Structure 1
Amino acid sequence: MINSDVFNYVNILNKAADATWTRGKLLANNLANVSTPGYKRQDIEFQTYLADALKQGHGTLDQKVAGVNLQSIEPTIYKDNTSLSYRLDGNNVDVDTESANMGENVINNNAILESITHEFSRIRLALSNN
């Protein structure tokens, strides 16, 4: 993490990028275990933590981002629907759902990486104007 208010967006986007990377690995692992008896799909919780952290701030988005405690938006990996199984062997991975989740995750990851690039471009522009 970069310790400066100038990099608050970058630090939050970095956390989001890490979360999407981890989610991509989890989703790929779910698909790899689609035929493993008893396997329960895993996913990650991050967006709720980020939304809650931003809600606690007041004022403009800049002020909300400046006040975010980065430790409060640590992603959590969990097993999804451990009591639910789509098949008799106890596995609860649905290929169509996992594929849709992977597509969504790729879009989110690309948007986050584009936002990080944009933030660094803004910082570079501000530094070059001095």
Structure 2
Amino acid sequence: MNLFSNSISTLERAIGQSVTKQKVISNNIANVDTPNYKAQEVRFQNTLNGEIDRLHAFKTNEKHIEFSGTTRGYQIKTSNQTAYQQNGNSVDIDKEMTEMAKNQIQYNALIDRLSSKFNSLKTVIKGGN
């Protein structure tokens, strides 16, 4: 039995992904001066594709964008291509701080949305009072 709606479980997964991204970004920032440390990033494209697959959506007009996706989950990728410092470190602190700020805004929005869902449930349980 599913006690909560699919939107609540989707929000829960999105919050978990945001937490994962925050951990990876924090790890990169913590290692900004570590010699030969290679920055990591979280890629959620597979999760996005999986959620699109679950929509069972279809185009109603040929000008609409295709709904497609194949797999679920996320990947943590290590960047081996560049070194921003002479010690071989690939952490770009400006990029990491920007990503952290964007992630924090997304996390706050998700928490706010989840909170409003639970407030709605609370209102229903109380009988609208």
TM-score > 0.5 by shorter chain: yes
Give yes or no for contact 2:47–2:74 (8 Å, CA) kept in 1: no
Structure 1: segments with no counterpart, 5+ residues = 61-71
Cα deviation for residue 128 of structure 1 reads 3.7
Match of residue 66 from structure 2: none
Larger radius of gyration: 2
- Measured in 2, the distance between the counterparts of 1:88 and 1:26 equals 22
Q: Which residue of the other structure, out of 89, 100, 107, is the alignment partner of 2:98?
A: 100
- Measured in 2, the distance between the counterparts of 1:84 and 1:14 equals 34
Cα deviation for residue 31 of structure 1 reads 0.8
Q: Residues 123 and 49 (structure 1 numbering): CA distance in 2 closer, same or farther, change over 3 Å?
A: farther
- Measured in 1, the distance between the counterparts of 2:125 and 2:118 equals 10
Cα deviation for residue 126 of structure 1 reads 3.4
Match of residue 115 from structure 2: 117
Give yes or no for contact 2:83–2:90 (8 Å, CA) kept in 1: yes
Normalising by structure 2, report the TM-score: 0.76
Match of residue 52 from structure 1: 49
Match of residue 26 from structure 1: 24
Cα deviation for residue 7 of structure 1 reads 2.1
Cα deviation for residue 5 of structure 1 reads 7.5
Q: Percent identity?
A: 27
Q: Residues 125 and 53 (structure 1 numbering): CA distance in 2 closer, same or farther, change over 3 Å?
A: farther
Cα deviation for residue 77 of structure 1 reads 1.9
Give yes or no for contact 2:18–2:106 (8 Å, CA) kept in 1: yes
- Measured in 2, the distance between the counterparts of 1:127 and 1:45 equals 39
Match of residue 33 from structure 2: 35
| Paired residue total | 115
- Measured in 2, the distance between the counterparts of 1:126 and 1:53 equals 32
Going by fraction, where is helix more abundant, 1 or 2? Answer: 1
Normalising by structure 1, report the TM-score: 0.75
Matches within 5 A, 1:10-25: 10-25=8-23
Cα deviation for residue 6 of structure 1 reads 4.1
